[in-house]
Structure 1
Amino acid sequence: MHRFRRPLLFAAGWILTALGAIGMILPLMPGTIFLIMAGWCFSQSSPRFEAWLLGHPRLGPQVRRWRESGTIDRRVKLVACGSMLISFAILTRTSAPPIALWTAGLCLLAAGLYVASRPEP
């Protein structure tokens, strides 16, 4: 398992970076959380790409701010919480079983409360 850890984290870092970049463009998809997770994956697998992500002019500032002070911009909080709310509203319009609705709802609520409770810079 250990020999696969680094390549898997490296691949996950790139997938999460791509999702984060997409989230920076699409208004209803949060990007910051994916970039924070990508930064962690790269910190465990590739210091070179961790440095690249942290130094990137568009992607790096939120990740650096999170690492340095644990803060999240108000705009990012609003987009993240709003995206979670819209996602849950869409899920309720599907034929998802009740257990899926409850599970998703509780997870999104916990994530939203965590994001909202983080200090702002």
Structure 2
Amino acid sequence: MALGFICVGLGMLGAFLPLLPTTPFMLVALWAFSRSSRRFHHWLYTHPRFGPRLQEWHQHGIVPVKVKLTSLSAMTASFLFMAFVMRVKWHVLAMSGSVMLIGAVYVLSRPSRLPK
């Protein structure tokens, strides 16, 4: 239950801070509450602000276009920062880029809206 509340807190911060994601934290919180508290799971799943996106993900695996663009932009910015500002070693850059590419392919493979 503690993990659920920590993730809800981080997710709520992410609703106001542009670099902190909201949805992944809420998904982890929903999972944690599903294991610990039916009441808090129901509260989060039916929450007026966060519930609809969680329900779309749970029922249809939807990742909205805005979320896709945000995540791809963050991955690109992180990669460029590592490459040109931090100047990390090539093998670290290659590994990080590979992980980001896998994440990008997954995010892009998800539907963006409800099926017709």
1:102 aligns with 2:115: no
Matching of residue 17 in structure 1 with residue 2 in structure 2: no
SS in 1 for 2:29: helix
Q: 1:12 to 1:90 in 2, by over 3 A?
A: farther
Query: What is the Cα-based RMSD across aligned positions, in Å?
Result: 1.8
Where structure 1 has 5 or more consecutive residues not aligned to the other structure, the ranges are 1-9
Matched-pair identity in %? 38
Uncovered stretches (5+) of structure 2, i.e. residues with no partner? none
User: Taking structure 1 as reference, are residues 95 and 18 closer, same or farther at Cα in structure 2, changes over 3 Å only?
Assistant: farther
**Counterpart amino acid of residue 59 in structure 1:** F
Change (3 A) 1:85 1:50: same
Return the TM-score normalized by structure 1.
0.79
Q: Aligned residue pairs: how many?
A: 112
Partner of 2:46: 55
Distance 1:41 1:98, change over 3 A: farther
* Greater fraction of residues in helix: 1
Is residue 84–residue 108 contact of structure 1 (8 Å, CA) maintained in 2? yes
Q: Give, in whole Å, the separation in 2 of the partners of 1:55 and 1:12.
A: 19
